Structure 1
Amino acid sequence: MGLFGGQLSNVVEWQEQRDDVIFWKWHNDEIKRGSKLIIRPGQDAIFMFNGKIEGVFTDEGSFDIESEIVPFLSTLKGFKFGFNSGMRAEVLFINTREFTVKWGTKNAISLQAPGLPGGMPVRAFGNFQFKVADYQALIDKIAGIKDDYRVADVQTRVLSVVDQLLMKWISREGKDIFNLQANAAEISGGICTDLDMQMQLLGIGITGFQIQSVSYPEEVQEMQKKAAAQSMMGDLGRYQQMAMADALTKPGGNAAGQTAASMAGMQMGMMMGHQMAEQMAGQTKQGQSAAAGAGPKFCPNCGTPVNGAKFCSNCGQKLI
């Protein structure tokens, strides 16, 4: 028996688990007496018989199938292994991790826009997350006819509907199509809900959906840049101050920077000279006013002290 024992037993395991595989089906002619089930981290093992789930095992470790697995199977719990015969069953290994996948619009989607009969062509891209949510639905729809199922399969299915969902949720409640990034969280939430409802039919749950970027035609992007520049130029004085400060802090980068610094220096010099001229003019006016308002201390006719009076109190001489 010891010489031939290895021929009557096998190991049921998913040894080469890959990050891009959602499930993998182990199947053999039959599971022999003495066989082991090995469940690794990030795996669940599902025993199936005639396409139906017999038992789901989630604990990690190595288990004797006859003593530790069969007693928990629905219709096979009373199965007895014979000397030359084994149990005919399939084992489906599930990758339990959450997958993150990139998405992007296949073609530019046209959104209704005022003055644009053909609409505004917009592209978008981002990420979505999913994981296996319903084992029975997965078996009924996919695992019953496939030996494995890959992330690329889910990605293809999502990309086939994401353009329509984007149009639906962007158009909802009159979103500003020129500022879609501001409403990205709300749009993403709506798409995630709709997408999850569709994928749950296959046993896949969509756990997250994000819009990372929305791109417009180059002409629209140029218009947005010009509009931003015009908005900044609205306060011309502030713009000049910012430009002068920037030029002064970066005088040696290149010829254009040196020219800007020179011009800024000239403007500041002119401003300082203008301020000094105004101050000198003010001082001159004050001196003239003071000189014009001061009278003689003595009468030039009789010598009587007058202390700035307009007429001499002694002889009546007009002084100012």
Structure 2
Amino acid sequence: MALFKNQFANVVEWKEFRDDMIFWKWNNDEIKKGSKLIIRPGQDAIFLYNGKIEGIFQDEGEYDIETQIIPFLSTLKGFKFGFNTGMRAEVLFVNTKEFVVKWGTKNAINIPTPQLPGGMPVRSNGTFTFKVNDYVALIDKIAGVKNSYLVEDVKIRITAVLDELLMKWISKEGKDMFNLQANASEIGRGIKEDLDMKIIDDGMTITGFNIMSFNYPEEIQDMINKTASHSMIGDLGKYQQVSMVDGISSGKVKGGGTAADMAGMMMGMNIAKEMMENMNNNSNSNSNSNKKPNFCPNCGAKTEGANFCPNCGQKLA
């Protein structure tokens, strides 16, 4: 008799739980007498009746619907199961985790800049995070007409407006177009606020937006690297010498040995020239320091090249 009594009972649960699914709706015809509700970690269960929220259950575990769930429902708390009748209701399971999504620009974004008339072509990539924070809005805008919703659905919406927002926040005054990474945090905060306004009405919120890198065309990146090298070395002549040494040591200066030998000889000549100039400067400095004065610094008498002043005896050299 007990088997016959519960033969129509069902289990209300999110069986095929997916990490990339934001919500899933259980909408069988009826919840029968003796049915159970199972809530797993990372899930909330929302009972819906005629499209309205009847109750939200957040604690994981297994519950008897008749004795542990119905008494807490808004308009169904007095519902009594009949032998052949059940409760017609839907149960929306919501994934409560924070979702992490990778993003990247499909095409280069041309950012207006005075240095380049056609704009600076920039690519970028990073991550953003979001989660569900308003069940009423979620049901009103999305869950009311859909049985499930994926992270990919949100990603498509975000990436559709991301290029526009990147251009907006990169173009803000004071940004160094050749060192955008230095302003990545500020740009990311602005984009996060704008993206949050895009999805907040759907019951979700952007919890973070991170820019991993900005990427320039190869020729622009080479120019940036060379400019940085010049700044670090500080002198064009030294930069050329360092470049020559790098070319010889890396094997980039080739030509059957002749080119490398010529480069080495030129560098040797340059170094020898610098040494000779240094020696001449030192010699001139020494000769100037040993030159005898024509007049005594003590009494002013004419010295005529003597080592001592003939008038007062002051040592002159």
Q: Normalising TM by the smaller chain, what interval? A: 0.7 to 0.9
Counterpart-to-counterpart distance in 2, 1:39 and 1:17: 11
Q: Distance in 2 between matches of 1:67 and 1:31?
A: 13
Q: CA deviation at 1:240?
A: 9.4
The answer to whether the 8 Å contact 1:192/1:208 transfers is: yes
- Opposite residue 116 of structure 1, the aligned amino acid is L
Residues 191, 239 of structure 1: alpha-carbon distance in 2 compared, 3 angstrom cutoff = same
| CA deviation string 1:262-304 (max 9, x = no partner) | x69x97xx98xx89xx8xxx9xx9xxx9xxxxxxxxxxxxxxx
2:304 aligns with none
- For residues 162-209 of structure 1, what are the alpha-carbon distances to aligned partners after superposition, in whole Å with 9 as ceiling and x for unaligned? 111111111122422221110000010011011112111111110000
**C-alpha distance in structure 1 between counterparts of 2:246 and 2:117, whole Å:** 44
How far the C-alpha of 1:231 sits from its partner, in A, is 2.5
Which one is further off, 100-109 or 131-140?
A: 100-109
The residue type equivalent to 2:166 in the other structure is: L
Q: Which amino acid aligns with 2:97?
A: R
Matches within 5 A, 1:162-173: 162-173=162-173
| CA shift for structure 1 position 238 | 7.3
Secondary structure at the counterpart of residue 8 of structure 1: coil
2:226 and 2:245 mapped to 1: Cα distance? 22
Structure label with greater radius of gyration: 1
Structure 2: how far apart are the matches of 1:254 and 1:124? 34
Q: Distance in 1 between matches of 2:134 and 2:147?
A: 17
Unaligned runs of 5+ in 1: 290-320
Task: Tell me the equivalent position of 1:176.
Answer: 176
Work out the CA distance in 2 between the residues paired with 1:254 and 1:178. 31
- Contact 1:232 1:239 survives alignment (8 Å): no
- Hey, what's the Cα distance between the residues in 1 that align with 2:222 and 2:128? 30
Q: Is this contact kept in 1: 2:230–2:236, CA < 8 A?
A: no
Distance 1:159 1:246 in 2: 43
Please tell me the residue identity of whatever aligns with 2:27: H
Q: Within 1, Cα distance between the matches of 2:195 and 2:108?
A: 20
Question: What number of residue pairs does the alignment pair up?
Answer: 273
1:155 match: secondary structure: helix
Distance in 2, matches of 1:246 and 1:229, equals 13
TM superposition shift of 1:27? 1.0
Match of 2:55 in 1: 55
Shift of 1:17: 0.7
Residue 219 of structure 1 deviates from its aligned partner by 2.1
- Write out aligned runs for 1:276-315 (5 A): none
Partner of 1:227: 227
Taking the aligned partners of 1:204 and 1:221, their CA distance within structure 2 comes to: 38
Contact 2:6–2:34 (CA under 8 A) maintained in structure 1:
no
Residue 100 of structure 1 is matched in structure 2 by 100
**For residues 213-238 of structure 1, what are the alpha-carbon distances to aligned partners after superposition, in whole Å with 9 as ceiling and x for unaligned?**
11112221121122223324424797
Amino acid at match of 1:55: G
Aligned to 2:76: 76
Matched position secondary structure for 2:2: coil
- Secondary structure in 2 matching 1:93: strand
The share of aligned pairs that are identical, in percent, is 64
Give the TM-score normalised by structure 2: 0.76
Which residue is equivalent to 1:158? 158
- Which residue identity does 2:188 align to in structure 1? S
Equivalents in 1 of 2:166, 2:6: separation in Å? Answer: 57
Q: CA-to-partner distance for each residue in 1:52-78, whole Å, 9 max, x for gaps?
A: 111110001001101110011111111
Write the distance in 1 (CA, Å) between the matches of 2:69 and 2:153: 32
The alpha-carbon distance between structure 1 residues 28 and 191, as it changes in their structure 2 partners (threshold 3 A), is same
Partner of 1:292: none
**Distance in 2 of aligned mates of 1:180 and 1:23:** 37
Q: Is the 8 A contact 1:106 1:159 kept in 2?
A: no
Q: Distance in 2 between matches of 1:66 and 1:131?
A: 31
Mapped contact 1:9–1:31 kept (Cα < 8 A): yes
Distance between the aligned counterparts of 1:221 and 1:239, measured in 2?
Answer: 18
Q: Structure 2 stretches of 5 or more lacking a match?
A: 254-259, 291-317
* TM norm structure 1: 0.75
Paired with 1:190 and 1:241, the residues of 2 have a C-alpha distance of 45
